[in-house]
């Protein structure tokens, strides 16, 4: 039902001169859902997010964000959305507390001083409240950015590669916080290049060259590629991979640790292709394709698999 959708847009398109950055994208995200928005650099993810939150005006398209018209009510949308950019974008020569106070002023947050104090304490920044933002580690800068996004109590968070350059422990703590907030009803659209983060999302959308190629749960996205995958272990895997990539029916042969993943969209053609290479020196096992297999396939094929 439309009333259950925090994001419900159709045909969203943005052009810059002769280049179409976002090409007629449809996207629906339910309230309280964490939607991972994936795609290679330059695929249109950031441009799409900026159209949703009113920072860019779409050339074509329609729909709603939080029940508000994405074109005509962009100013009202801005007041109910938190947007976390790719790069740390606060004043590095102001303290944590001063940065949060500045953001609270911009949004006209009532009881501003109390809101800043509560925000600092809730996300564990109390001991660092007077520390200059520029001296924070990557993980603490990330916490500051998230805290600032939440200070005006938005209903939707748009996070653009929020964990880039952050260590694994900080990433895990960040995602625990995201799931806790989603459990309270907050909706998320999050761009990421990390497959482990993508697997933490309720649903995924994958964009390439401005076009949305697939949208669904992790299992639905993987099944939608129609991939069959074999793993192979043994000697001289680099040379084997190069030979396999030349075979009809092999869409990709990619190293995963001490093994190769060999995949194709036509199971019968793939089995014929690998047949001559199934010797005693190599151990072959049919496996379920993973999310990374699916995304590499989508990226290299440039479209939806049959």
Return the CATH number at 271: 3.30.70.260
pLDDT in tens, 181-203: 999 999 999 999 889 999 999 99
Please indicate, yes or no, if residue 141 is contained in any of the structural domains: no
The residue with tokens 């900080």 is: 170
Any domain includes 44: no
pLDDT at 300: 82
User: Is 178 domain-assigned?
Assistant: no
End-to-end CA distance of the chain: 29
Instruction: With respect to residue 212, please indicate whether it lies within any of the assigned structural domains.
Output: no
Asked if residue 209 lies in contact with residue 299, where contact means CB atoms within 8 angstroms, the answer is no
Q: Does residue 89 register a pLDDT over 80?
A: no
Residue 268 lies in a domain: yes
pTM: 0.89
Give the chain's mean pLDDT: 91
Has residue 275 been placed in a domain? yes
What range does the domain containing 273 cover? 228-288
Residue 87 neighbours by CB under 8 Å, 6+ apart:
none
pLDDT classification of 302: cutoffs 50, 70, 90: low
Instruction: Give the number of domains in the chain.
Output: 1
Render pLDDT for 29-83 as a digit per residue (tens, 0 to 9).
999 999 999 999 899 999 999 999 989 999 999 999 999 999 999 999 999 999 9
Of 264, 261, 275, nearest in space to 300 by CA: 264
The answer to whether residue 143 scores a pLDDT higher than 90 is: no
In a domain, 159, yes or no: no
d(CA 300, CA 74): 36
Confidence at 215, pLDDT banded by 50, 70, 90: very high
113 three-state secondary structure: helix
**Residue 241 falls inside a structural domain:** yes
């Amino acid at each position: 039902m439309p009333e259950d959708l925090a994001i419900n847009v159709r045909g969203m398109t943005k052009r810059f001169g002769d280049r179409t950055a976002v090409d007629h994208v449809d996207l629906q995200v339910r309230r309280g859902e964490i939607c991972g928005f994936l795609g290679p650099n330059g695929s249109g993810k950031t441009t799409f997010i900026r159209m949703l939150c009113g920072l860019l005006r779409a050339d074509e398209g329609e729909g709603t964000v939080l029940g508000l018209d994405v074109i005509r009510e962009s100013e009202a949308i801005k007041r109910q959305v938190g947007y976390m950019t790719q790069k740390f974008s606060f004043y590095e020569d102001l303290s944590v507390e001063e940065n949060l106070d500045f953001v609270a002023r911009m949004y006209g947050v009532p009881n501003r001083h109390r809101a800043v104090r509560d925000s600092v304490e809730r996300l564990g920044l109390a001991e660092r409240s007077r520390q200059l933002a520029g001296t924070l580690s990557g993980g603490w800068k990330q916490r500051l950015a998230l805290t600032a996004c939440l200070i005006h109590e938005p209903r939707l968070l748009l996070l653009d590669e929020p964990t880039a350059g952050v260590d694994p422990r900080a990433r895990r703590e960040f995602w625990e916080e995201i799931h806790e907030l989603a459990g309270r009803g907050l909706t998320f659209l999050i761009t990421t290049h990390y497959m482990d983060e993508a697997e933490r999302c309720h649903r995924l959308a994958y964009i390439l060259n401005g076009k949305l190629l697939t949208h669904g749960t992790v299992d639905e996205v993987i099944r939608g590629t129609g991939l069959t995958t074999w793993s192979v272990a043994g000697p001289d895997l680099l040379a084997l991979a190069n030979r396999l990539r030349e075979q009809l029916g092999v869409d990709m042969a990619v190293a995963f640790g001490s093994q190769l993943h060999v995949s194709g969209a036509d199971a019968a053609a793939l089995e014929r292709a690998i047949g001559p290479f199934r010797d005693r020196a190599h151990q072959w096992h049919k496996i379920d394709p993973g999310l990374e297999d699916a995304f590499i396939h989508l990226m290299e094929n440039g479209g939806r698999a049959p």
